[in-house]
Chains A and B, each alone.
Chain A
Amino acid sequence: MSLEELTSYNWGIMTPEFIIVGVAALLTLIDLFMPKKQDRRILGWIAIMAVGAAMVSLAGLLGAAPESILEDTFRLDSFGKAFKFLLLAGGALVLFLAVSYKADEGMEEYRGEFYYLFLTGLLGGMIMTSSGDLITLFIGLELLSISSYILAGIRKHNLQSNESAMKYVINGSIATAITLFGLSYVYGLTGTTNLLAIAGTLQALADAQHAYLLGLAFLMIFVGLAFKLAAAPFHMWAPDVYQGAPTPVTAFLSVVSKTAGFVIVARILISVFAVAATEGPGSIPILYNMQDYIAVVAGATMIIGNVVALKQSNIKRMFAYSSIAHAGYILVAFTTLSSNFFYSVWFYLLAYLFMNLGAFAIIQLVEAKTGSTRIADFAGLYRRSPILAVVMGILLIALAGFPGTAGFIGKLNIFIGAFMVQEPHYVLASVMIATTVVSYFYYFGIMTQMFFRPAADDSKFTKIPVGIVVVLIITVAASILLGVFPDIAIDFVNENFNQFADFLQ
């Protein structure tokens, strides 16, 4: 690759990534030269500004035509832009939680990496949204994963945090291995790692034996990535990791990491398997042939997530299962692949981002106050702080998917999508409804605690950190706004992303 070629690329389309990587490097340096025992919170605020700047630069790129650089390894299409917004918004809100986090047990205020590891993780996710190549996809995935492993174990004197990191590394490595194995099949059959080139080769695939091998490859890639989504039965790491990790990290895992997981699944599934023919050109694509496998995983994920959540007494474990359940709902959209697919996934992740991060903000507050994460700690919250209780109440009914909230519209899109295709997925849709009903029980369990149980102590919540206040205002406003005026999101997508038509170009 000559110098002229390098300079001829339109590097402008990577501006958001450059900002994040630049600030992450800068923070590392500042961290190095700061006095040893000085509060590093300022680094967190700089990181927030960096994410903000990245969002602004991304907004500047909204009108740009789809373009790819670096020999098609990095492409900025409407899918990339849309999901990058989600990742950046989630990253910013998580950082607000992080700067409000009360450090303890080996994670004193002067541990700067707590802040910039979020940035590197975020960068990994962003690379994935814009990858046109299996290798860069994988690099992005690993960058996100490794950052998350360290973050989970950052409270190094805390036993649970250690356990959390350890389990995450082991399970994550297993997942990586399986994914890579599957990807190697794809490479072996096509001789290239470039997604568009792969698609081109597979479209003309005439050999049924190859299609058979590709089916196996599909299963392995899907299962490997299902770890990242925490889809059943590959979800079992999630509750332990979520419980042990510091709360901002848990929030990061449940939102940013999960969004990135869906991004990579969409990238590989749609660009490779949705075009690979089963029996020669023009025949049914492999992905449609494998729908039932995704359906089974989606159904199992919804059932296991919601049902096991009923039995939890720890709020973070409960939210781990709740996040598993939400992944199940989104997988329903992946199964049905309606014409509304991209939009319904995007909207659901958007709604979920706000509802879930808002809830985690409250969890973090209550945890800081009581020192534990039992659901029972929410008892009498209404008496101690009516505002917090009502805010949490709104977020919970949004998570439960009540009309008038963003969660409802998100579920409705996916639900209707299940009927918009030629062969409607009645069973999956009914499972979705039934498990949603089950979810009311555990969400309302928290409500009961907050509103009807007496408080163990009556101390008020004073001095709520500003980061938390920001998160709560944004998330509650968004949860309601998107529920009452879903057209805001529809118009935004229609105006800027042209129904994601350039995904496969």
Chain B
Amino acid sequence: MMENAWIIPLFPLLSFLILLLFGKRLKDASAYVGILATLASLVYSLLVLFERFSEPTFKTSTEWLRIGDISLTAGFEVNQLNALMLVIVSLVSFLVHTYSKGYMHGDERFPVFYAYLGLFTFAMLGLVISPNLLQTYIFWELVGVGSFLLIGFYFYKVEAKAAAKKAFIMTRIGDVGLLIGMILLFWETKSFEYSEIFQAVEAGAVSSTMITLTAILIFIGAVGKSGQFPLHTWLPDAMEGPTPVSALIHAATMVAAGVYLVATLFPLFAASETALLTIAIIGAFTAIFAASIGLVQTDIKRVLAYSTVSQLGYMMLALGSAGYVAGVFHLMTHAFFKALLFLAAGSVIHAVHTQNIEEMGGLWKKLKLTAPLFLIGTLAISGVPLFSGFFSKDEILIAAWEGGHPVLFLLALAAAFMTAFYMFRLFFMVFTGEARTPMKNVHESPSMMTIPMIVLGVLAIIAGYVQTPFNHNLGEWLVDGNEALGHGHIEGPIWIMIAATVVSLAGIYLAYLIYYKRSVARNWLSGSGDTLHTILINKYYIDEFYQMSVVAVTKGISYFLRFIDVFLVEGIMKGVAVIVQGLGAAGSKLQSGQTQTYAAVAFIGLALLAVIFVLTGGYL
């Protein structure tokens, strides 16, 4: 099975091509093409995963291009992480494909939507089986393209257009870091192959400064893709895309690509203390920073978006604290419960046609299926014991504590409190109490949409049991045969688990008091001044800061460059264009249709060559 794993990304690619060519004719049947393609990928991925349990890593590559003595290869690899990612990506993609059949029903560009989903899934699956940096980078950019197309799917909406552009630009900034890091690594190790890079690093062939530099540059790429501070601002805006897209891209897969990249290159990062510390600090800061913004958002999808940023921060914190297993584990559980939350949010939006939680309320009775599923997702993300998020978050907290970062540990704990609070704030405001605006025709979504949610709901509960304090199956399997990745499980004091539970329950209780019982005023903390609230609602003014600093400076430079461009470059360009056009016109004019002219031109040409030859005496 594993030797043919390359076929997994090809199913969605095929779906993309079919829909591109025949989408118009297929109309609504397009959905089935996409669903079948991702189902095929899912089945194959599962087979590969099961085989990987008993067999060693499979890797193959062939020489793709040889220029001089440099050889570039292409191939694929199935190691533990890849096999796991294949299943996560194809599963979530399959469920989102199914869900979209109901959610996007009636959209004019329905086949186009499925075509884009196919392209994106292809890119993401291709990314996770790449055995070398160059191939990873190609798919990395392709993932970016897919995300751009999907965020801007409602291109007639100004916000969607702006969001797509923003996402593309912000992630590109990170990609520049990645590209430079990648080239430097190639320079140092003469290879893009992961295995060869790790060997070179292990053998000490690369200086420690260079390791730190390349690791941090590559991490910048991950910062952009995974929405880490300070390049996080695109992610909440990306919520302008259709909700299934948010679930697929901005929760479960693409944003996880940054975390995946760090995990894949973990042996490189592990070789540099500084790089690991940078990752841990950025991760922890992002976790609490995004969580605090999430406290005050009123758009259901934006709350989830900030929670995504915050949870990705957790994963980075884990990896930065040398908790490889914890990071990957949380990546997996998060993919399930966050996809569930987004799909459930989509179901809510589908029912009430608004995203503003201030206008919702009392939906528990009306959405009999969506509401409990949303609750499961909320419990999981809040880290309530026995749900999947509890186990993975616990691993991260232990990793941070044992990794010797008590401050970061406290930040993470505080973020966990906030997460529990704002998630239950969201839950209580949407599903309990009375409807704040009159709602008509609120009804549960079709089964095409609810079934994927149920599947995810089950996973959000049970996915945590692959790695608990009592069994370390996932962890031991993940690090098997690779010592650079650390241990399968880090033993930590029991009080951490208790603290995490207490913090999460406290957050829920506070939310319960404020938004359900209403016994505590909503502004009890910020008081009447509301400064804190204003800061938070404006997302720490990061966008404004960028607007005033980076954007202003860039604009200044760009005005200057534009001046040069208009008067100098464009002048030259116009000149070149005029010359080229003129040459073309002259050439066409010379082409009079007169054979005599043709012969004359030829003879003149020959004569010129001969005359030059004679004049130079045959030697140039």
Contact = CB atoms under 8 A, between A and B. Distances in A.
Interface of A: 166-167, 170-171, 174, 178, 211-212, 215-216, 219-220, 223, 227, 232-234, 236-237, 239-240, 278, 289-290, 292-293, 296, 303-304, 307-312, 386-387, 390, 409, 412, 416, 438, 485-487, 490
Interface stretch (B271-279, B538-546, B605-613): B605-613
Contacts of A307: 580, 583-584, 587
A108 B68 CA distance: 54
B588 A308 contact: yes
A219 B606 contact: yes
Interface string B564-605: 000000000000000011011101101101010111011011
Contacts of A303: 583
B343 to A, nearest CB: 32
Contacts of B609: 219, 223, 293, 296
B619 interface: yes
A236 B618 contact: no
A215 B618 contact: yes
A290 to B, nearest CB: 8
Given A307-B583, A311-B585, A390-B20, A289 B63 contact: no
B134 to A, nearest CB: 13
B158 interface: no
B583 A211 contact: no
Interface string B458-475: 000000000000000000
B22 A386 contact: yes
Given A233-B605, A416-B68, 8 more contacts: A220-B606, A223-B606, A233-B602, A293-B620, A310-B580, A311-B585, A386-B21, A390-B20
A178 B607 CA distance: 12
Interface in B16-32: 20-22, 24
A458 to B, nearest CB: 13
| Size class of the contact patch on chain B | 35 or more
B338 to A, nearest CB: 34
B495 interface: no
Nearest to B590: A236
B580 A236 contact: no
A337 B409 CA distance: 66
Contacts of A310: 580-581, 584
Given A171-B598, A216-B613, A308 B64 contact: no
Contacts of A438: 580
Contact of A239 (B583, B591, B601, B619): B591
| Pairs of residues from A and B, 4 with the lowest C-beta to C-beta distance, nearest first | A308-B587, A236-B598, A233-B605, A311-B584
A125 B254 CA distance: 55
A487 B63 contact: yes
Contacts of B617: 212
Contacts of B597: 236
B62 interface: yes
B21 A387 contact: yes
Contacts of B595: 166-167, 170-171, 237
Contact of B599 (A174, A311, A390): A174
A174 B591 CA distance: 18
B67 interface: yes
B65 interface: yes
A424 B68 CA distance: 15
Nearest to A209: B618
Contacts of B66: 487, 490
Judged by DSSP, the binding face of A is helix
A300 to B, nearest CB: 9
A308 B591 CA distance: 10
A409 B65 CA distance: 9
B507 to A, nearest CB: 51
Nearest to A296: B609
A196 to B, nearest CB: 25
Interface string B57-73: 00000111111100000
B605 A223 contact: yes
A289 B619 contact: yes
B531 to A, nearest CB: 53
27 contacts: A167-B595, A171-B599, A174-B599, A178-B606, A219-B613, A223-B602, A233-B601, A233-B602, A233-B604, A236-B601, A237-B598, A292-B620, A293-B609, A296-B609, A307-B580, A307-B583, A307-B584, A308-B584, A309-B584, A311-B581, A311-B587, A311-B588, A312-B588, A387-B21, A409-B65, A486-B64, A487-B64
Given A307-B580, A308-B588, A390-B21, A211 B65 contact: no
Given A170-B595, A215-B613, A234 B584 contact: no
A256 B335 CA distance: 57
A223 B613 CA distance: 13
Contacts of A234: 602, 605
B218 to A, nearest CB: 23
A139 to B, nearest CB: 24
A487 B587 contact: no
A450 B379 CA distance: 53
A486 B64 CA distance: 7
Most buried by A among B583, B602, B609: B602
B579 to A, nearest CB: 9
A490 B62 CA distance: 13
A303 B590 CA distance: 15
Given A171-B599, A174-B599, A310-B584, A289 B618 contact: yes
A379 to B, nearest CB: 18
Interface string B335-354: 00000000000000000000
A129 to B, nearest CB: 26
A290 B62 CA distance: 41
Interface string B89-130: 000000000000000000000000000000000000000000
A459 to B, nearest CB: 16
B26 to A, nearest CB: 12
Contacts of A223: 602, 605-606, 609
Contact of A174 (B63, B64, B602): B602
Contacts of B63: 487
Which of A236, A239, A312, A485 gathers the greatest number of chain B CB atoms within 10 Å?
A236
A296 B134 CA distance: 38
Given A219-B613, A307-B583, A170 B618 contact: no
A263 B354 CA distance: 71
Contacts of B610: 216, 219
Contacts of B24: 386
Nearest to B603: A174
A171 B617 CA distance: 30
Nearest to B596: A170
A376 B602 CA distance: 32
A486 B65 contact: yes
A219 B605 CA distance: 11
B187 to A, nearest CB: 20
A303 B576 CA distance: 13
Contacts of A167: 595, 598
B382 to A, nearest CB: 46
Nearest to B600: A236
Given A233-B604, A387-B21, A170 B599 contact: yes
Contact of A289 (B585, B604, B620): B620
Contacts of B588: 308, 311-312
A485 B64 contact: yes
Interface in B47-94: 62-68
